[in-house]
């Protein structure tokens, strides 16, 4: 064994998780992950123990807030709702948020990057999320929303979701849409009740991975300016996930990621991508580098790609790649800026009547 091999062996013995997002998180920049409404708050439970970001649960339903494991919890209370929720009405959720702007601003104080998580189609998430995003933008934060889109059979909820997307596109830098319909196409055996839990886990993986890569000790760190460069003006986005193990882990993980966007779209033509690679203890730096090179090659030459990576000793020989691809186009999502005034008025009336 030569000198270099001996040093490598010693590193493997003395540093079994080296480096990892499990320790060494810095204090700056400040990242906040805010769950808005029932679905958004429930997603925060998947982030229990996160050190790289502050989790903030915001809801009009006090019973739901009590069940959420978050660093901070904020009840959007008014005399009319009394902590009992928004009743499925986005306009109520919006009014509750507007009535608590000072409290929201205080909870977001010092935030450089805000990941906003919400389910669209209900009251609080649909109505309050754009208000929270607007407050954060006014305070100078970069805002990336990750939202769950209703099933096609939920007609009224879909119309409310379109209304919510309109507001989010106006107030966020990037809006990543995860479509329940796309998920069921990818996993046909998934039950109606299981789908939200799967999306919550995927959202948690994406935002935790990027947050860890920015503020924690990592194999490949992401700079906050790299994230801002990709996210600013990102528009419509989605999340994709791929994994692999064994001799062809890199090829399998990259291939699966590009085949599995959670919105009907093509990742290869995305304007930008925030990519996080997690490798087990047996995954080498050469494999991490190979994955990064293959990812960049698969995207279009003009796509701005920012990559971070860390190890997770629990994964052994497995590699997982998560990406938030920005500036994508989808036939399923029509940016509301292109809706006519008559279409907007029709949807608003249906929401009010529904």
In a domain, 113, yes or no: yes
In a domain, 330, yes or no: no
The rounded distance, in Å, linking the Cα atoms of 201 and 203 is 5
Amino acid 314: pLDDT: 86
Q: What is the pLDDT of residues 131-164, one digit of tens each?
A: 999 999 999 999 999 999 999 999 999 999 999 9
Q: Find the DSSP H helices in the chain.
A: 3-14, 37-44, 62-66, 90-99, 101-107, 124-138, 155-171, 180-186, 195-215, 224-231, 249-259, 285-298, 341-353
**pLDDT-derived band at 8, boundaries 50, 70, 90:** very low
Amino acid 219: pLDDT: 83
In a domain, 199, yes or no: yes
- Structural domain boundaries, residue 99: 31-220
pTM for this prediction = 0.87
In a domain, 101, yes or no: yes
pLDDT at 80 over 90: no
Q: Which of 54, 55, 56, 95 is nearest to 76 (CA)?
A: 95
**pLDDT-derived band at 19, boundaries 50, 70, 90:** very low
Asked if 174 contacts 231 with a C-beta cutoff of 8 angstroms, the reply is: yes
The rounded distance, in Å, linking the Cα atoms of 275 and 293 is 12
Q: Which of 61, 332, 328, 40 is nearest to 207 (CA)?
A: 40
In a domain, 102, yes or no: yes
Asked if 279 contacts 328 with a C-beta cutoff of 8 angstroms, the reply is: no
pLDDT at 327 over 90: yes
Amino acid 7: pLDDT: 44
The DSSP bridge partners found for residue 325 are 238, 273
Pick 22 or 172 by higher pLDDT.
Answer: 172
In a domain, 164, yes or no: yes
pLDDT at 16 over 80: no
Number of domains present in the structure of the chain: 1
CATH number for position 80: 3.40.50.1440
Please give the average per-residue pLDDT across 220-239, as a whole number: 93
In a domain, 39, yes or no: yes
- Least reliable range by pLDDT among 4-18, 44-58, 249-263: 4-18
In a domain, 137, yes or no: yes
Q: What is the pLDDT of residues 191-205, one digit of tens each?
A: 888 888 999 999 999
């Amino acid at each position: 064994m030569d000198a270099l091999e001996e040093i490598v062996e010693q590193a493997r013995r003395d540093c079994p998780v080296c480096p990892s997002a499990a320790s060494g998180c810095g204090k700056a920049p400040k990242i906040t992950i805010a769950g808005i409404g029932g679905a958004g708050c429930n997603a925060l439970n998947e982030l229990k123990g996160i050190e790289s970001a502050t989790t903030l649960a915001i809801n009009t339903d006090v019973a739901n807030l009590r069940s959420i494991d978050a660093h901070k919890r904020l009840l959007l209370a008014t005399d009319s709702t009394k902590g009992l929720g928004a009743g499925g009405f986005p306009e109520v959720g919006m009014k509750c948020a507007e009535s608590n702007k000072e409290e929201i601003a205080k909870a977001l104080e010092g935030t450089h990057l805000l990941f906003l998580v919400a389910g669209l189609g209900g009251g609080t998430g649909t109505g309050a999320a754009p208000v929270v995003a607007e407050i954060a933008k006014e305070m100078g934060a970069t805002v990336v929303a990750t939202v769950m889109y209703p099933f096609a059979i939920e007609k009224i909820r879909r119309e409310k979701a379109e209304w919510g997307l309109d507001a989010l596109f106006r107030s966020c830098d990037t809006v990543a849409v995860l479509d329940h319909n796309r998920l069921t196409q990818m996993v046909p055996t998934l039950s109606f009740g299981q789908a939200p839990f799967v999306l919550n886990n995927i959202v948690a993986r994406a935002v935790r991975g990027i947050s860890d890569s920015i503020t924690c000790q990592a194999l490949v760190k992401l700079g906050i300016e790299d994230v801002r460069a990709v996210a600013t003006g990102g528009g419509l986005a989605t999340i994709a996930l791929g994994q692999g193990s064994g001799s062809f882990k890199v090829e399998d993980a990259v291939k699966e990621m590009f085949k599995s966007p959670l919105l009907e779209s093509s990742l290869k033509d995305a304007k930008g991508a925030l990519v996080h690679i997690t490798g087990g203890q047996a995954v080498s730096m050469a494999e991490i580098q190979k994955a990064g090179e293959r990812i960049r090659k698969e995207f279009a030459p003009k796509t701005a790609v920012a990559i971070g990576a860390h190890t997770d000793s629990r994964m052994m020989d497995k590699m997982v790649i998560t990406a938030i691809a920005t500036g994508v186009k989808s036939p399923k999502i029509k940016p509301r800026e292109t809706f006519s005034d008559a279409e907007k008025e029709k949807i608003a009336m249906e929401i009010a009547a529904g």
